[in-house]
Structures are given as structure tokens and as C-alpha cells.
Structure 1
């Protein structure tokens, strides 16, 4: 009788789960209090043990392979069960009320994270738990309490309230468009690679192209796993990115990223960031988060220039 193979070491699984969730070996290392090289070593050992590649290594970023995405879904669910069980057994008297928020990692890191201290100060009794994922979290099914989604707001089976519209323009590093041959009309952009983030229903480039009369049939599009990677690739001079001004306000203000075609800006009030909630009456905790989020959005500058 053949014996079943033992599970991979827990330390390797923890490293993989953290790196896959953050799409960053360095951020995973910070979370686990180990070096980036240690995370890379554990993941390499895990890949050797499984006999498959879990990540695609790129110059400035990593992306999950198809096998890695499938494995992450299982491993992440297992670690969530462990976390929940641990939290329940610890449960001190007077524990804070948890609120789980599903969101894109890019929104979490680039917009929400700098404002979390303000939320905690305003609501010390709420334990805000962020669940970043490129997949749409199941709000109606209770996978998360609420979610912040990017798009046009037409999701079935849930309520969606526009938190803030997004402003879109094609951006790049200044060096990419320096000189006399800089792009002067939308068609000139076809000389450069287009950087696009993963989406079930891509619409950013299509919406911008329709508004400014650009045919995308001949565009060289580079599809990346997450918008954070799109921004990093643009900062590395790898091509043209669709700039979501809410998320790249700092880069626009500093001049690290600039409009490739000044003035070609799409302000579509239907495209933006939405708070998605289950249908029916919201809990007191979710209602408090909604009120805070809407207030924070009102005071958010669109592009970091005013």
C-alpha cells in the first residue's frame, strides 16, 4: 500500500500564501518578518516539491501562473480557516467587532492604506479586516461583509453605491515621450506597448479609445496580473498605462508619471469605485464604515495637484 506524500512544510505554505496575496516577495517578507530572499527560497522549495511553477518572475514584479492561482485559492482558504479559528479561541472580553472588506490590492495599498489610521481613530471598536483579491468577493454569499469594486456598478444580487468616480488618462514616464517624436494624437500611442491589468470584463482602454477615436485592433497590449504591477511597469518605462488618477495621485503630483496626451482625459461618472453591500439592512458596523468611506472620498483630490 502506497503511503501518501506528506504536506509541504508549513513555513513554505505561509510564504507562498503571503506572496500570492500581496504579489510581492518583499511585502510577504515584511509581513512574516523574514527577508525577501527567505521568501523566495521557501517558494522555490515549494515549487520543487510540487513539480510546478507557481510564479512568473519578472524584472520588477511577480505574477501567479495558472497553477499558482489555483493553488493559492485552496491555500488561502485553508489559512483563512486557521485565522478565524485562532481569533475565535482568543476572543478577549470586549473584543472589537470585525468587518471584512473585499477589495483590489491596488485600491487597498494606494488609496485605503494611507487612511486606515484615521478610520481606526474614528472607530476604535471596529476590527477592519481587508481581503485583497483580483477575483470579485462574494458579498451576497457572506464571503465578505462589504466590498469595494472598480467598474460601472452593475453587479447582480447586491446593492452598489458609487463612492467616487475615476478619472482616466494614458500616462507614462517623462523619458518615454521626450523629444520631437512625442505622441501628439491618439494614434501615435500605438508605437508603444499598452499596459493593462487583469479584468473579467476589460473596459478602461475601450472606453478611453472610444472617447478619443483610437482603434485598438493594432495595439500591442501587455496583460498584467494586478494594477499595482501596471503602475510599476509604467514607472520602469515599459509602456503606456491607463492612469487611474485616484490611485496614482502621488506619482502625478511628483511628475514620476505624466499624461502622454495632455488634455485627453476621460471623466465618465459611471466609471469609478463602488461600495458593494448585501441587499437589505446593513449592520451597524458596515453602516459606520460606509459613512466614513463616503466622507473620506469627498475630501480626496482627484489627481494630487490640488
Structure 2
């Protein structure tokens, strides 16, 4: 006969120990903070050991608690993965959240290739700047820009961001040297410090890096550049289609690496879902192109 504590108490302990916060554990499990505290005390009574040290509002694990967490975490991960695999085909459409700039400039022009390769996978795309913490089940997969560190999520890098001036071929003819950017209209997206960093890296002085309009989305800045409204500091992955088609050109070859990269993210338990794996393989291959 297996001697196993109540599952609810185990879940409360694992979440509280992982977050070192009963409040965040309560948010994850969608219960009250008092319920988490009660279940953890129930587990401690059942085991006859203290799992946490409580000093005011600070919460730390005891040595026994840390040892128990190391044992329990992979068990919960295996249970979650097994459940996700069991219900993989009962989840309905694959729901994707993606930044508007990435959607319009990079993803949407390529989606027809995904549909042809996987006609049986229904893909629902939501384009939004809003961050999603994956604590609810509105989406299955996300494409975000960042450093690749999101607690509880599996993140795979699609591509690093690189910045370089882009403009129409007609405008590029008037830009013989980087200093000529002082005569051009500079197009910014957030954060606005990109132009200043590129000019410093290229050794250009005497150009007011703060001139020109600011767009809240990198795709809008590229669209303005396509219309001939000025020179955008383009994110080269987003500008790839326009550069290949000749709608935009790089008047200067100096490229500024950006700290942020584009990442495919999803909750770890969804790793085994066939549609998630298919989309991940496809988008990583497209990014390598």
C-alpha cells in the first residue's frame, strides 16, 4: 500500500516552495492564500516535519523541505506531461499570441507555408503587445521579445535582434555617408535610444539622434520607411521580406546587436503536444532561413 499525503497538500507545497510565496502559489492554483497556508500546515502535520521557515513575511525552505521539493518537482512535471499527451488532440485549435510587429512583418507572410505542411492543424493567432503570464489557458504558444527567461516556460530562441538603418532605394541614393543622416528624417520605435546607440557604435557625431517621430511598434516604423517618410532603425529580422523584395535597402552596413531576441515560449507541459511540436519545428526552420 502506497503511503501518499493528500494530493492537494502536495500541490500547495510544491507551488509555494517553487515560488517561495504562498500568495503567488495561490494565484497559480487559483485558490486563496489562506488555503495554501492551511494545506501546507496539513502536509507538515502529516509528515511530522517542518518544510518552511517563516520569518515575518519572508518564506524559506528548511533542509528537509528543499530535499522534498527536489523529489516532488519532476514527479509533478511527469504527471503534467502525461496529461497533456493524453488530451493532446482534445485541445481544439492551436492558440498563438504574438507581438503585432512580428505578426505583420514576419509571421503572416509565411503562414501559408505552415498551412500547406499541416492542413489538419487549426491555428488561431492573437496579435497583442500585452504580456501574458501563462497562468491561464487562453493561449498555448507565444512569440515574444526578451532575454529568454520566463519562469515556468520553455523558451527556444528564434533569432537575435540586429538593428541597422533601412530606407527606400531612392532615399538611400542621397545618403553617401552616415553623417548624411543628419539631413534625413529619423524614424524611431520604442525604446527610443536605438538611434543614439547605433550612431555611437558607428562612430557618427553631429547627428541629433532624438529627431523624428516615435512609433509604438517596430512594424509601423518599417511601414513609414517603405512609404519614403524617412530612415528607420530596422530590426533586420522584421525587415527581411522588404529587404529581399528591394522595397527597403540598408544604406550602411553597420549593424548593432540588440540585447533582446525573439523567442518561442510555451508552458513546459505542452512540450508533448503534436500541434505544438509541429509549429515549433516549422517556425524554427523558417527562422533559420
- With normalisation by structure 1, the TM-score equals 0.55
Cα offset for 1:220?
Answer: 0.8
What corresponds to 1:288 in structure 2? 278
Cα offset for 1:255?
Answer: 2.9
Seen in structure 2, the aligned counterparts of structure 1 residues 135 and 218 have a Cα distance that, compared at 3 Å, is same
Q: Find the structure with the greater CA-based Rg.
A: 2
Q: Which of 208, 232, 253 pairs up with 1:241?
A: 232
| Worse overlay, 158-167 or 202-211 | 202-211
CA displacement, residues 104-162 of structure 1 (integer Å, 9 cap, x when unaligned)? 22322332223323222333332110000122333344332111113443445533210
Which protein has the bigger helix share?
2
Query: For 1:232, what is the secondary structure of its paired residue?
Result: helix
1:192 matches 2:184:
yes
What corresponds to 2:261 in structure 1? 272
Q: Which of 158, 163, 169 pairs up with 2:158?
A: 163
Cα offset for 1:280?
Answer: 4.4
Report if aligned partners of 1:167, 1:245 keep a CA contact under 8 Å in 2. yes
Report if aligned partners of 1:105, 1:132 keep a CA contact under 8 Å in 2. yes
Alpha-carbon distance between aligned partners in 1 of 2:115 and 2:265, rounded to the nearest angstrom: 21
Alpha-carbon distance between aligned partners in 2 of 1:280 and 1:207, rounded to the nearest angstrom: 40
Seen in structure 2, the aligned counterparts of structure 1 residues 255 and 153 have a Cα distance that, compared at 3 Å, is same
What corresponds to 2:124 in structure 1? 129
Alpha-carbon distance between aligned partners in 2 of 1:254 and 1:117, rounded to the nearest angstrom: 18
Seen in structure 2, the aligned counterparts of structure 1 residues 100 and 281 have a Cα distance that, compared at 3 Å, is closer
CA displacement, residues 161-211 of structure 1 (integer Å, 9 cap, x when unaligned)? 1012333210112333434xx3513x54243332123x4x56644653453
Seen in structure 2, the aligned counterparts of structure 1 residues 113 and 190 have a Cα distance that, compared at 3 Å, is same
Report if aligned partners of 1:140, 1:158 keep a CA contact under 8 Å in 2. no
Alpha-carbon distance between aligned partners in 2 of 1:151 and 1:202, rounded to the nearest angstrom: 17
Q: Provide structure 1 residue ranges, at least 5 long, that are not aligned to the other structure.
A: 1-93, 301-306
Alpha-carbon distance between aligned partners in 1 of 2:91 and 2:140, rounded to the nearest angstrom: 15
Alpha-carbon distance between aligned partners in 2 of 1:132 and 1:184, rounded to the nearest angstrom: 38
Alpha-carbon distance between aligned partners in 2 of 1:160 and 1:211, rounded to the nearest angstrom: 30
Alpha-carbon distance between aligned partners in 2 of 1:131 and 1:95, rounded to the nearest angstrom: 21
Alpha-carbon distance between aligned partners in 2 of 1:146 and 1:281, rounded to the nearest angstrom: 9
Alignment of 1:63-212 (within 5 A): 97-179=92-174, 182-185=175-178, 187-197=179-189, 199=190, 204-205=194-195, 208-212=198-202
What corresponds to 2:18 in structure 1? none
Alpha-carbon distance between aligned partners in 1 of 2:185 and 2:256, rounded to the nearest angstrom: 20
Alpha-carbon distance between aligned partners in 2 of 1:283 and 1:242, rounded to the nearest angstrom: 39
Cα offset for 1:224?
Answer: 1.4
- With normalisation by structure 2, the TM-score equals 0.58
Cα offset for 1:297?
Answer: 2.0
Query: For 2:122, what is the secondary structure of its paired residue?
Result: strand
Report if aligned partners of 2:219, 2:238 keep a CA contact under 8 Å in 1. no
Report if aligned partners of 1:158, 1:276 keep a CA contact under 8 Å in 2. yes
Seen in structure 2, the aligned counterparts of structure 1 residues 157 and 196 have a Cα distance that, compared at 3 Å, is farther
Query: What RMSD in Å do the two structures reach over aligned CA positions?
Result: 3.0
What corresponds to 2:13 in structure 1? none
Between the two proteins, the alignment pairs up a number of residues equal to: 199
